Amino acid sequence: MGDQVAKPDEGVNNDVLEVKGQEIVDAGAEDTAAIEEQEKTDVVEAEKNTAEGETETKAGEDASSVQRPKEMLKVNRKGCETRQKSDASILPDSDNPHEIRKQVEFYFSDSNLPGDKFLWSQTDGSNNKPVPLSVICNFSRMRRFKPHSAVVDALKASKHLVVEGSEGEETIRRKQPYKPADDRQYQIDERSAYIKGFGEEQSSTQFDIEAFLAQYGEFNSVRLRRADDEKKSFKGSVFVEWADKDTLDKFMALEPKPLWREHTLEIKTKLEYKAFKAQEIRDGKIPMKGSNHFGRSQRGHRGGGGRGQGSRGNYRGSDADDWKKRRDEDQRNGFEDRRGRRDNRGRGRGRGNNRGRGRDRARNDNGRAKEQERPVSHDDGRPKINTSKESEKIMKEVNAKSNTDAQANGKRARDGDNTDTPPAKKVDTKEAVADAA
């Protein structure tokens, strides 16, 4: 049994092992090559993934920068060397009929006409008098529209304006006269927005902001808010009046919020802004001012014209609270400002027929007026008689003679006698004032 055991170098089985061994060796060589090839592939893919990862990271950083906009631009109230006023002369010449009509229709619109002192006087308000077209073409925003014939043709196609007159002598007016409305300003505010964060003003600021807002809908006007000082410097904020409230609502609902040159903007409806400022005034954080929604005294709202002109009782947002202007106007009309008097009388007292007399009165049980006790004052509140120099001279002579006669009769002149005091008699005050003047 032991002799029958095959040796490794004998028989077929050995050959089989050799073949199998060769097969194993050959298979190992193929696997090594495959591994090396796979490793090369892995390196290439790893490099590719790294490059893609870096690209994604950069894209993520860019997206992150978009999500985190720059801080809002501010205005230096102390001044800026590079600051400029918006200048319409930088706009290119144009004969575009749509732009011409839009500009002139705005001038005569309900939004602008009642607050435009010059144009309101030219049209005589609701009387709707025609205005020479040459006057309109001389406005700064109109000088770029050329030739004159293009302006005439564009305005003749307007649905809201009428052009009349011979060539070169054209006039323009509204088709429908302006009708005053008590809630006119509220209607404007209801479709307007307050936007802050435009930074320092440059010569193109007005037009850049208009182009920026045009992508969000149609608007009637964009008004740059200015400081109430001599320079009328730009505050960095505007009031934009959209075409209607729906356009305002769509603008307010935008997400993400609009950015101005990658900088954030503060955006509120105008009604929200006015309510916010009113609360600050009530809290004493800011003083009350008489400026309107343009940041300056309302144009054309004092001095006549009726309710359509935005008179104090009907126009919302006018200078109704500007007490300084009302005081100055009252003084020019002949009313006296008594606040500077030594005894502080005359302010808030004596209303009605007793105004300014400085007496506090109370009614007793019998209904008679009873004067309350008060410190003795050198000014008793009685009207003073103005006398001329000639009248004073005569009065002095009369008083001197009376004192001389009293001494001659053995009587001493009373201590209270004053030679400068006029006698108690009727004096023509109008004539006396005229003499003194």
One-letter amino acid for residue 252 of the chain: M
d(CA 165, CA 132): 9
pLDDT for position 174: 98
Q: Is 317 left (phi over 0), alpha (psi -120 to 50) or beta?
A: left
Identify the CA nearest to 342 among candidates 358, 353, 355, 329.
358
Q: Encode pLDDT of 278-322 as tens digits.
A: 999 999 988 876 544 434 444 444 333 333 333 333 333 344 446
By the 10 Å C-beta count (0-12 exposed, 13-18 middle, 19+ buried), 95 is classed as: middle
Cβ neighbors of 243 (< 8 A, separation 6 or more) are 191, 217, 218, 219, 220
Identify the CA nearest to 293 among candidates 191, 376, 213.
191
d(CA 146, CA 154): 11
Most confident of 168-172, 344-348, 415-419: 168-172
The pLDDT confidence band at residue 232, using thresholds 50, 70 and 90, is: very high
Q: Encode pLDDT of 139-178 as tens digits.
A: 999 999 999 999 999 999 999 999 999 999 999 999 999 9
* pLDDT at residue 186 tops 90: yes
d(CA 113, CA 244): 18
Question: Which carries the bigger pLDDT value, residue 124 or residue 2?
Answer: 124
Pick the CATH number of 89-174 from 1.10.240.10, 2.130.10.10, 2.60.110.10, 1.10.10.10: 1.10.10.10
Work out the percent of the chain whose per-residue pLDDT is above 90: 47
Q: Encode pLDDT of 25-79 as tens digits.
A: 344 445 556 656 666 666 566 666 666 666 555 555 555 545 688 999 999 988 8
Question: Which carries the bigger pLDDT value, residue 436 or residue 198?
Answer: 198
One-letter amino acid for residue 372 of the chain: Q
pLDDT for position 1: 46
pLDDT for position 364: 47
Cβ neighbors of 355 (< 8 A, separation 6 or more) are 349
Distances, alpha carbon 174 to alpha carbons 106, 122, 132, 306, 418, in Å: 11, 12, 13, 19, 72
Which strand ranges, in their side-by-side order, compose the sheet holding 219-226?
219-226, 234-242, 192-196, 266-269
Q: What is the dihedral of CA 179, 218, 266, 298, to 10 degrees?
A: -30
Q: What is the pTM of this model?
A: 0.54
Average pLDDT over residues 115-132: 96
* Lowest mean pLDDT, pick from 178-192, 303-317, 396-410: 303-317
pLDDT for position 237: 98
Distances, alpha carbon 314 to alpha carbons 154, 302, 350, in Å: 36, 12, 29
**Phi/psi of residue 268, nearest 5 degrees:** -145, 160
Q: Where do the domains of the chain lie?
A: 89-174, 389-436
pLDDT for position 40: 66
